[in-house]
Chain A
Amino acid sequence: DGGITQSPKYLFRKEGQNVTLSCEQNLNHDAMYWYRQDPGQGLRLIYYSQIVNDFQKGDIAEGYSVSREKKESFPLTVTSAQKNPTAFYLCASRQGRETHEQYFGPGTRLTVT
């Protein structure tokens, strides 16, 4: 089955630790995205990548970092510099020019205490 996987579903970390959230897609999509969702709010764009070895900051990139070494993978690192990291994180991908909708993974709930 083609799709987007995010692991783990729930993640717990101590304050001050960096943590990496996984996002893998086997849809052969060009673009990938990371969003943050806080309770009662919409999605806010953290980072996006259009092609391998290229990525751009979104609206709330501070305290986060990404890499895109492979087309299938777009991991997100939440660094200790992120002041309020507890949130629900969604990864998405999009094929490119022929189709425009984004397909989403199941999300990772990160709790930092």
Chain B
Amino acid sequence: AQTVTQSQPEMSVQEAETVTLSCTYDTSENNYYLFWYKQPPSRQMILVIRQEAYKQQNATENRFSVNFQKAAKSFSLKISDSQLGDTAMYFCAFMKTSWGNYGQNFVFGPGTRLSVLP
């Protein structure tokens, strides 16, 4: 079974600074996807970024980028130029690619609560 670990329950960063959130996972699969989701105080889950395991290039979405280290099973999220609106819970998620059964393939980490300070 896959597991996802986020070792930082809480973090804080000054506005305009850069912060990195850690995520490690355990799997024997070779083909999978990784995601970062954001849950602001409204509690709406929002997809931040995704990474296909077969791609060596790290995904980037505006101020958000990942450092994907497949051999180390590490998938960290870097937020540049932090903004007050980035304050949220951030969840790392793993999805096994299985064409036969794509129902129960998502595993979420416990989350990291990020506070952006003015």
Contact = CB atoms under 8 A, between A and B. Distances in A.
A33 B45 CA distance: 13
Interface residues of A, number: 25
A50 B106 CA distance: 13
B103 A106 contact: no
Nearest to A94: B102
A14 interface: no
Contacts of A90: 45
B79 to A, nearest CB: 19
B37 to A, nearest CB: 8
A31 interface: yes
A43 B91 contact: yes
**Majority secondary structure, B binding face:** loop
B108 interface: yes
Tier of interface size on chain B: 20 to 34
A58 B104 contact: yes
Contacts of A41: 110-111
B101 interface: yes
B103 A101 contact: no
Contacts of A33: 103, 106
A100 B97 CA distance: 9
B43 A48 contact: no
Interface in B87-118: 91, 95, 97, 99, 101-104, 106, 108-111
A74 interface: no
Interface of A: 31, 33, 40-43, 45, 48-50, 56, 58, 88, 90, 92, 94, 96-97, 100-104, 106-107
Given A33-B103, A33-B106, 10 more contacts: A42-B91, A42-B108, A42-B110, A42-B111, A50-B101, A50-B103, A56-B104, A92-B45, A104-B37, A107-B43
